[in-house]
Amino acid sequence: MHIIKTTTFRAAAEAIACLQPDPITGTVTVDQIKIAIGEHLDVWPASIFDDVAGDDEDGEQ
């Protein structure tokens, strides 16, 4: 279990609740939710770790 500040949790929930649906499909995409979680809670999938870890200080590989 991970405990975070209530204000942080509420801000993330609000950001997810306010996501705008994709104009073509009319739904909120999984990627939109992942980005909102990452931006507000700093929780990212392990799959991006290799991409980030492979970058040097200038952001280039």
Considering the domain boundaries, does residue 16 fall inside one?
A: yes
For 4-22, give one letter per residue: b (16+ CB within 10 A) or e.
eeeeeeeebeebeeeeeee
Residue 12 inside a domain? The answer is yes
The answer as to whether 33 is a domain residue is: yes
The pLDDT, as a whole number, for residue 7 is 95
**Would you say residue 10 lies in a domain?**
yes
Is position 59 within any domain?
Answer: no
C-beta atoms surrounding 36 within 10 Å: 20
> Domain range spanning residue 12?
6-53
Instruction: Name the domain count of the chain.
Output: 1
Answer whether residue 1 is part of any domain: no
Query: pTM of the full predicted structure?
Result: 0.69
Q: What is the pLDDT of residues 3-40, one digit of tens each?
A: 999 999 999 999 999 999 999 999 999 999 999 999 99
Question: In angstroms, rounded to a whole number, what is the distance separating the alpha carbons of residues 43 and 46?
Answer: 9
Q: Which amino acid is at 51?
A: D
60 has a pLDDT exceeding 60:
no
